[in-house]
A and B are shown apart, each in its own frame.
Chain A
Amino acid sequence: MISITFAILLCLLVILSLVLLATRGSSVRHELSFRSDVPLYNETTGDPSLCPPEFAARIFSPADWTFVSGEKSRDVVRLFQHERRVVALVWAHQTKSAIHRIMREHTRITRQSQDLHLATEARLVYHYVQLVAICDLLILAIQSAGPSHVGSLATYAALLSQRFADAQHTLAITTAARELPGASAAH
């Protein structure tokens, strides 16, 4: 009896947490689209490319925080916290969108390809799932703790997403070359 009650309570807790996260996520998105100078990237507008990793390092850099703290102005510190939070969220959303776009492009190519390498595909899907999860985690962490606490995870995500994009690009070129007329005869 106790275990059933506990299970129900646990389920309710999980559902409540999920609802809370979803509501919070959409409200932050809403807030950002109003407060940010540049709109958030979405499927129809904006820049679909990945932000270069060196800029991710700059966005999450602790050096700026140290400099701003040294200014000893509460207003500046408050403005910095707000501005960096928004920029970090723009970066995380943009990275996630770019990863989705890369994966969609990859799916389109593999659908037409007749020579698939299962191991390579599995590795790519694994990296894709990992990256999306990291981006979601980053978005939550930036919202709750601020960008200064997630610098290393963001840098890791930036490098991994760049590698993911490069791998997909190489794969697309290889697939295209393999399917050129006469390519199989050449080997």
Chain B
Amino acid sequence: MTTTKLITVQAAYDDFLHRSLSKLPCDLARLIYLASTRDYNTGSYHHDGLASRFSPEVAAKALEIAHRQVFVQLSAYSLEELVEQLRIYFESSQDGAAEILRTWQKLEPYRIAIPVEVNLAVARLFLSNVRLALAIWRSRQNRSPQDH
């Protein structure tokens, strides 16, 4: 990649961070959002606004970098921090916490939030931690259903 292109990708990344990512309430929401910009079949990223301000290619690269960065950040969280991330995510969602919790435990949609080419052990740690954080939420909910 040339220096000019690297600078453009950095500009696109900063723009995306400022306009979109910073508006989201937590890293978990950022990860889910970034994963949703990736095509299921091709694995390439797309964002209309960013592509129109830069180019589809530059936008895709910036999204890919942002996705990997947020994933690594989230994977390094302690379980306690991840449980807190879940709380913020549940509270910011329009669907009820119980509904999301049930769906997440059943379908494990967070599995497709893993970027391509991440370290195997880190990916496994992330999946394991989300599963544990959900189990902790479920256990808390079972103990005091009125609180959640």
Contact = CB atoms under 8 A, between A and B. Distances in A.
A90 B122 CA distance: 10
Dominant secondary structure of chain A at its interface with chain B: helix
Interface residues of A, number: 31
Contact of A37 (B79, B117, B118, B124): B124
B132 A83 contact: yes
A2 B87 CA distance: 69
Contact of A84 (B111, B119, B121, B128): B128
A79 B131 contact: yes
A94 B132 contact: no
Contacts of B100: none
A80 B75 contact: no
Given A67-B79, A76-B135, 14 more contacts: A36-B124, A46-B120, A47-B117, A51-B120, A52-B122, A55-B121, A58-B125, A59-B121, A71-B139, A75-B139, A76-B132, A90-B121, A90-B124, A91-B121
Contacts of B79: 64, 67-68
Interface in B81-113: 111
Interface in A140-161: none
| Closest 5 A/B residue pairs (Cβ) | A47-B120, A73-B139, A51-B121, A83-B128, A91-B121
Nearest to A88: B121
Nearest to B77: A58
B51 interface: no
Interface of A: 36-38, 41, 46-47, 49, 51-52, 54-55, 58-59, 61, 63-64, 67-68, 71, 73, 75-76, 79-80, 83-84, 86-87, 90-91, 94
A68 B82 CA distance: 12
A87 B121 contact: yes
B120 A79 contact: no
B136 interface: yes
Interface string B25-49: 0000000000000000000000000
A63 B78 contact: yes
Contacts, number: 78
Contact of B136 (A36, A52, A71, A94): A71
B119 A37 contact: no
Contacts of B128: 83-84, 86-87
Interface in B1-28: none
B76 A87 contact: no
Contact of A86 (B78, B111, B124, B139): B124
Interface centre among B122, B124, B127, B132 (most CB of A within 10 A): B124
B80 interface: yes
Contact of A58 (B76, B111, B131): B76
Contacts of B70: none
B80 A67 contact: yes
